[in-house]
Structure 1
């Protein structure tokens, strides 16, 4: 009900929601009435959707909420590999992956375990996905403990497959300011290479 209210305020006529579990998780996708969207699958950790472009070609967009617990991260990587095997369509994947790709995407605390970083790198490589990059402040999450215990990490990002990057103009995502969340919103505007089509994607954790 809360997301329906937000969707109406943002002038989105359609809304699909996977409810949060307590205070954690929760994923939603909003779209305009003139856009045809098909929800292929969903769980507490993803929504996989497909839409048809004006030329009739299909493209996929997936929102992901990665397991925060170290022992469960393998389930996120299994999910991504499963999703990657379903279609070769242009695919944009975004969300809170709850993992970093490079040691310098973390500030404060102990160094990140390189085995965990390498697992994330490996699954993106296996799925044919690449990080689209970013503009703005590097970190998208902080623990809210200011002082010596302050931690920041880049957990939220957009990744895409080659079919997507071949079709759309390369565009970095923008890490925006956060006001009420420990995660910052990440915004990406996408333009088709041949012109005539603009999309705006937003991952807000």
Structure 2
């Protein structure tokens, strides 16, 4: 089973190249569920096209004129039950071909920094009200550390709050392949900025059922965002996963030594994967707050 998420930056024109591009990705990767953000059109406008592609159901949130718009469609091989929709998310449960049921939040984070904390809070409430296995994917519009950004300001607004939100909800990063940056401002030379805004997260309960799930960040085409393809059953390639690595400069700071000492002495809570992720996020939170030094050393 595979899922596609893409900030397509507009599908109002049904003869758009974007629709052909989506169709090609869907057929090549055997996609069972498609999530599109910034469609800039009504859900009803897109339903006939995706129905012809074999996607039996669809939901979403209509655009406000030429702003926003979310669209979700799914194939006959899965059962989708809606939980909540808004201009920033589509939340549902999915029952796959094996009968396994889990929750998914397809996310469109606000490009306005001041609005993001409310989105994270609303997602927390939804997850708290629906305990279980959770997957989150989409355009979060949030950089987490300086490794996820190239060019532009070193100031990462909202990064610490976002990392705290991930910790609070016990969210793990799903490993990715492909391009490192999923968004560009489409400028050149010194004005160019690249960021990894499109991502996928899960909790440990979901990870236990899909331990080999991974994301492919496809090249940026026809939009300023990369399409993301999440494969739930990755074929084994016999390669060892690269562990999280702390920048060498950080070891000169007493705060890092204190974090390591505290984590070593504390009794672990939850699964080993969750404990490791919490440790990694605490170190990343330190790196984000250390005046951008982690980026300078790259």
Q: Fold-level match, TM-score > 0.5?
A: yes
Number of paired residues?
191
Mapped pair 1:65 → 2:123: no
> Higher strand fraction: Structure 1 or Structure 2?
1
Instruction: State how 1:1-205 maps to structure 2 within 5 Å.
Output: 1-53=44-96, 56-113=99-156, 116-191=158-233
1:67-110 superposed Cα distances (whole Å, 9 cap, x missing partner): 11111111122122112212222111101111012211011111
Distance 1:104 1:130 in 2: 17
After TM superposition, give the deviation of residue 125 of structure 1 in Å.
0.8
Q: SS state of the match for residue 50, structure 1? A: strand
User: Please, which runs of 5 or more residues in structure 2 have no aligned partner?
Assistant: 1-43, 235-298
After TM superposition, give the deviation of residue 54 of structure 1 in Å.
5.3
After TM superposition, give the deviation of residue 135 of structure 1 in Å.
0.3
Distance 1:23 1:11 in 2: 27
Gap change, CA 1:6 and 1:169, over 3 Å in 2: farther
**TM-score, normalised by the number of residues in structure 1:** 0.85
Q: SS state of the match for residue 85, structure 1? A: helix
Distance 2:79 2:95 in 1: 6
**TM-score, normalised by the number of residues in structure 2:** 0.60
Gap change, CA 1:164 and 1:121, over 3 Å in 2: same
CA contact (8 A) 1:38 1:51 kept: yes
> Higher helix fraction: Structure 1 or Structure 2?
2
Which one has the largest radius of gyration? 2
Distance 2:119 2:66 in 1: 19
Distance 2:167 2:74 in 1: 30
Distance 2:99 2:183 in 1: 38
1:132-176 superposed Cα distances (whole Å, 9 cap, x missing partner): 121011100011122321111000001001110011123221000
Distance 1:73 1:17 in 2: 20
CA contact (8 A) 1:3 1:15 kept: no
Question: Mean alpha-carbon deviation: is it higher for 133-142 or for 47-56?
Answer: 47-56
Distance 1:103 1:83 in 2: 29
After TM superposition, give the deviation of residue 22 of structure 1 in Å.
3.9
Distance 1:32 1:17 in 2: 15
